[in-house]
Amino acid sequence: MRHVNPQLLVTLWHVARCGSLAAAAREIGWSQPAISQQIRKLQDECGCALLKRTSHGVQLTPAGQLLAKHGEMIANRVLQAEQELDEYRRGNARRLHVLAPPSICSTILARTLVKIGQTSDITVRLTQMEPPEAVRSLIAGGGDCALVFRYDALSRAPLANDDCTVEYCGKDPLRLLVPRNSEVGRQYERDGEPVDLSRLADQRWIAGCETCRANLMSMARSAGFVPVITHSTEDTWVTQNLVEMGQGVSIVSELSIHNALQGDLAACPIADGNAYRTIGMVTRKGDERPELQRLREAIRQTTRRFLMA
């Protein structure tokens, strides 16, 4: 195959995202014949069909899907360059935007922001965001760094795609949240031993976000039962209050209860080798700005206080 023009890959991505040549032309601001000409040129360069017509517009062939993915990466990197240049022109080159879920924001990142503020003139803006959305936003230029997690009981899929650099930070242990005066809670207070989840097979369960719910289902399945989930909430305080009032039990991470755990609750270790979240720091590949490197080092130093190696 001859050299492929990156602009043609971006055009193909627009067509894929918009679903038709006409819609892509409207979005880019070109004429439909111009879009068609670019797609034909790309097909000639590749030597294979990239689109097939349907009753609703066009659909990418497998080869087209492969190339469109690279077109999206190119478009995002161009957007990143434009944003960084704009920040530089406005004198904001030392401003960074970090994305992370609430449990990481309130622990690792809260302390990192204090350290950065005391030791540099870098300004860091923090936005709460769950891992899948955070990675998508980062790739699209909506942030400079993301702290994300992956449950060890679920797929060992990478924390981000090939357009990102992922740095492993450590493991966040998971805990079984039960009333302190429950049978399981009292036994843990006596012996401090990890709890087998099968002992709670007949309990009602409180789930969190979609990923947290999937983790609960996976860990329960490994323990030999299907949990009866009666409540779902992403608010740690709501979870604690529901457990306290006997409305169910739950699985939470150590980071989520680090700042506060109600006194009448017990957070028990779980007898499961996958009772962890793996935490990672994600940046766009090739982004080596000194300000970002300094932020990453500050995050590294802070994570050592909170995570297992």
What is the number of domains present in the chain? 3
Q: Specify the amino acid at residue 23.
A: A
d(CA 279, CA 170): 6
282 and 268 in a common domain: no
User: First vs last Cα of the chain: how many Å apart?
Assistant: 46
Residues 6+ apart with CB under 8 A from 15: 21, 24, 35, 39, 51, 58, 60, 68
82 and 35 in a common domain: yes
Mean pLDDT of successive 10-residue stretches along the chain, which has 309 residues:
80 89 88 89 88 85 90 82 70 80 96 91 92 90 94 83 89 98 96 97 95 96 97 95 97 96 96 97 91 95 94
151 and 201 in a common domain: no
Domain that holds residue 215: 173-275
pLDDT digits (tens, 9 = 90+) for 109-125: 999 999 998 988 898 99
Domain boundary among the residues 47, 63, 87 is at 87
Judged by phi (left if over 0) then psi (alpha if -120 to 50, else beta), residue 244 lies in alpha
pLDDT digits (tens, 9 = 90+) for 245-274: 999 999 999 999 999 999 999 999 999 999
Q: 179, 264 in Cβ contact below 8 A?
A: yes
271 and 179 in a common domain: yes
271 and 188 in a common domain: yes
245 and 123 in a common domain: no
159 and 73 in a common domain: no
216 and 257 in a common domain: yes
Residue 1 lies inside a defined structural domain of this protein: no
165 and 291 in a common domain: yes
Domain boundary among the residues 46, 64, 87 is at 87
153 and 180 in a common domain: no
189 and 253 in a common domain: yes
